Structure 1
Amino acid sequence: MGVNINYFTKADVSLEEVKAIVAATREPDNQPWLLCEPIYFLEMPGYEDRLYGASKLNLMPDPTEKAEAENYDTDRNDLEFLLDKLCELSTRFQVDWTLQIEGSEIGEIIGGVCDPAARDAVEALASVADELGEFGDFM
């Protein structure tokens, strides 16, 4: 069992909105998805009328996978990209998000803007992953 970053809409969404948002998350991107899984929505009790998603974190990437990920032409790590994509979805579909790590709220995305606390939390996770990845080279 791993650690997840969870994201869910703050308000109910219609079936049409769900379909459009899910389709938008399937648009091609150029991310290696090394530090976390891509955006993935699932059914969650208590969130029946909202979108609920989770992406498992990978805070100790395999050195070989890390080296392969460096070949991707991207200027953001996966965690930053995930937040930016949720911000884009917020703007595009007028939905706001609550962000959690293992049930503890780290922030919100309101009107397409991610609050600084969530950005700081994600930056700290990426830094930890980078440090652990370097440590993994010696294991």
Structure 2
Amino acid sequence: MPEHVIDHDLGVLWEPNAPEAVIVSQDAVLTLALRAHPDDIDQRTVVLRWSGVVWWCAGAPNDEAVASHRLYQKGLDRVLWSGRVERSELVESLAPGSPRASGSTHDVVLLKEETVEVVACAVEVLRADGTPRDAARIALS
């Protein structure tokens, strides 16, 4: 089967309309901190923390233009929060230059104002007190 995106249930939702997402990167660790979904009993900040990061980007398209994303017709159209790219062409293109890339996964996180893509060895979900800015920095340590 060629490259395709599947829904990646991280077990947590975040505020879909809050433009307060904060990304902090240090060495091979990337954190994305977001306000908790209004319906979540736990209102602490949601932090997605990737380790063994090989590559990442954040930017266009936003939620209104997501149909222009190259992965949209490959399953991203069925993803509401986070997706995992199976047989990722990006991972394959990075693997010859980075031995770590060959064992990595390719995640796509859809936000209101941008799309975040990360190729990394692992992702974990954390909760932290404070603002997304504070939580993103704390999660790096």
* Structure of larger gyration radius: 1
Considering fraction of residues, name the structure with more strand.
2
TM-score (norm 1): 0.30
TM-score by length of 2: 0.29
- Structure number with the higher helix fraction is 1
